[in-house]
Chain A
Amino acid sequence: MSSADVIWGMSRPSPGGPAAPVAAPPPPAEVLILGVGNLLVGDEGVGVHALRALEAETWPAQVHLVDGGTGGFHLLELLGSYPRIILIDATRDGAAPGTVSQFRARVAADFPPALGAHDIGLRDLISAATLLGPLPEIEVITVSVTELKPMTLELSAPVAAALPEVARRVRALLAG
């Protein structure tokens, strides 16, 4: 996948036809795989890059893949529509770039702090979601990043090399 294709994923619109799928009302789906991050900031976008890679695979009908981008409050609807979510995001936790970690998030403080380019950070979003009711079951897979490079769509080599491991963990979580 070329660097520019990552921005489109599976939904590049084309003229003259209904290329974009028409969304149904809240889906009765069971698992949401949500990749978040800003594609315009290099490694910060690893969550969306990982999602793009997963989109190329085949998944059972009850598994929904969504590019959450920098969606902010727009993501609140998704959080409330699924009993189980696997969230993929970048984190600047001091570990070597490309390190993949995972944990079960229970409260807002468990989530990685925003790296600056999500406008409304995940912590804010989860705080808001807890006001509305119990959180769904959320597994977070993070990829450690160090340098955030502006003006680039590409991942650095160590972070790009982590994508197969992210995919493996997603499959393991779904199997478990």
Chain B
Amino acid sequence: MSTRIVVDPITRIEGHLRIEAEVKDGRITDAWSAGTMVRGIEIILKGRDPRDAWAFTERVCGVCTTVHALASVRSVEDALGIAVPPNAELIRNLMFCAQYMQDHVVHFYHLHALDWVDVVNALKADPAETSRIAQSISHWPKSSPQYFHDLQKRLTSFVETGQLGIFANAYWGHPAYKLPPEVNLIGVAHYLEALEWQKEMVKVHTIFGGKNPHPNYLVGGVPCALNIDEANAINAERLAYVGRLFEEGARFVEQVYLPDLLAVAPYYLDWTQIGGGVSNYLCYGDLPTNGFADVARFKFPRGAVLDRDLSQVHPVDPRDPDGVQESIAHSWYTYRGGEDKALHPWAGETKFNYTGPKPPYENLNVDGKYSWLKTPRWKGHAMEVGPLARMLVGYASGQEEIKEAVTETLAALKAPPAVLFSTLGRTAARGIETRLIARWAKEFYGQLIANIRNGDSRTFTKEKWEPSTWPAEARGVGPSEAPRGALAHWIVIKDRKIENYQLVVPSTWNASPRDGSGQRSPYEAALIGTPVHDPAQPLEILRTVHSFDPCLACAVHLYDDQGGKVGEASTSPAV
């Protein structure tokens, strides 16, 4: 007999994703992923000035605050035919890199590590042995026996006072935790160090974007002036500061994040056989090195991999009306043309139609509509997006830097490429690309400095700024790669106002419900076969879902339409 278990919410920090799974003989046999909050940014944007759209879209998420602003300004620039100056592209790239470095490190240590690291078990660690292990995997200076001794003392007092705080809701002692106490203690130490570190990294946004959170963007460039001698501009001192932030950021990635990833992975190699899910991967590509129009020279190549066939990369065109489409067979929306339609985002519609149960409820009706997420497909295929998709498309495209970084990591783990199609593979891919991003950031920084030395301080083009220069109608798309995966905004401009605006965000690709033909989306597919030792403590479900880095705030945001807490229906602790 099978048991239905529900995890809601599933993001480690507050979130709005609900997973229902059938468990039989200790393994998941089927799963449903539901976004339990409604979304409506598209409705807010209608009728507004397209040049303002980024500031609204940026507010949908507090985790990756910059990515929607970037996709938004690109969509408007695409519609109006604006090419931004090289320095603006470089500054956008630098903000992109800072976002990735901060976000991936925070994901690894603060949203995902506790699925693998048992905090309470770290109390049993021998500080001297912890120090020996730490020094054997990295040159990171904070590794003395005294350091780990002091840290363990601090942790003990947390646990003894019952003030576990952010560590409180977890399954400590679960048999699926496999790390020795010493490695757990290293994990806890770096959890705390990463909290401090990330505060520094995001200062790049404050410098270039004027403020943080929610830094400023601008259609046609970036809203900051470059002048090495001017106190109120991005001057020599500010630029040097940015350079230091990236240097220190790269050191943390190389000496803490990557060594930890490689130290933890060997204890969990069974997770290279679990959690693969759908076998198709989509990447819009990003980090232009020769202007955004030159897609062939993006650092992250654009393309799709189907059926895990790495010998072929399929071309992807976000403008193709038969390419990206969203359907609502299992989503709480209606389409004018009928429930069975799949719409390209330029023709997209956002009309709510909640038919779910009134909360609190036991189970969703998964045969009908069960999510606030629409279901995106590319040419009818369910596609995984995110770090793994980027690394696979890059690898299959023959991008040398990506190939080398992937190969190097696989060699360190003594594993073949097939292990990437898994829960652990996803987590490893995120680490691999962070290392690449940290290197690329230095490259972009060097180019920016060289441009300024050569006398090019342009950061904005005012061509097409004035609405009087715009055509009566225009359509654009702003593709990007957010840390969680392929993100694009589609805009239709009519009479100088926004006529239609649609976002298809990474977590919609990954966390969406089934499509009309019953194909599962990535989370749903990835959970099948996942072991569940104890249905009351579904740690294993969290491992696989967290490996995607769920961020439901932008996939579905705003609130529970019924005004209640959907979380009350959960049968297991919210983590």
Contacts and interface: CB of A to CB of B under 8 A. Distances in A.
Interface of A: 4, 7-8, 11, 13-23, 25, 38-41, 44, 66-77, 80, 107-108, 114-121, 124, 127-128, 130-132, 147-148, 150-153
29 contacts: A11-B210, A13-B217, A18-B232, A19-B210, A40-B44, A40-B59, A40-B558, A67-B211, A69-B59, A70-B61, A71-B214, A72-B63, A74-B202, A76-B199, A77-B199, A107-B163, A114-B14, A116-B560, A119-B61, A119-B62, A119-B63, A119-B551, A127-B166, A128-B166, A128-B195, A148-B563, A150-B39, A150-B559, A151-B41
A46 B277 CA distance: 42
B553 A117 contact: yes
A15 B465 contact: yes
B431 interface: no
Interface in B23-55: 37-41, 43-44, 48, 52, 55
Contact of B166 (A13, A21, A40, A124): A124
B210 A116 contact: no
B199 A80 contact: yes
Given A15-B462, A40-B558, A131-B165, A151 B553 contact: no
Contact of B195 (A22, A66, A69, A131): A131
Interface of B: 13-16, 37-41, 43-44, 48, 52, 55-56, 59-63, 65, 106, 110, 158, 163, 165-166, 168, 192, 195-196, 198-200, 202-203, 205-207, 209-214, 216-218, 220-221, 223-225, 230, 232-234, 238, 241, 460, 462, 465, 551, 553, 557-561, 563
Contacts of B557: 38, 40-41, 117
B223 A150 contact: no
B216 A115 contact: no
Nearest to A71: B213
Residue from B13, B210, B460 having most chain A Cβ neighbours under 10 A = B13
Residue from B462, B559, B561 having most chain A Cβ neighbours under 10 A = B559
B192 A39 contact: no
Given A23-B210, A119-B553, A73 B106 contact: yes
Given A7-B59, A11-B216, A115-B559, 11 more contacts: A13-B223, A21-B232, A25-B241, A41-B559, A70-B62, A71-B212, A71-B213, A73-B63, A116-B37, A124-B14, A132-B195
A44 B559 contact: yes
Residue from B200, B214, B238, B241 having most chain A Cβ neighbours under 10 A = B214
Contacts of B559: 41, 44, 115-117, 148, 150
Contacts of B15: 119
The 10 closest A-B pairs by CB, nearest first: A20-B210, A70-B62, A71-B213, A13-B223, A72-B62, A127-B166, A127-B165, A150-B558, A77-B199, A18-B225
Nearest to B215: A20
A16 B238 CA distance: 19
Nearest to B106: A73
Question: By DSSP majority rule, is chain A's interface helix, strand, loop, or mixed?
Answer: loop
A4 B462 contact: no
A75 B213 contact: yes
Nearest to B552: A119
Contacts of A4: 48, 52
B553 A15 contact: no
Contacts of B216: 11, 13, 20
Contacts of A11: 210-211, 216
Nearest to A74: B213
Contact of B165 (A8, A23, A108): A108
A68 B213 CA distance: 6
Contacts of B43: 151
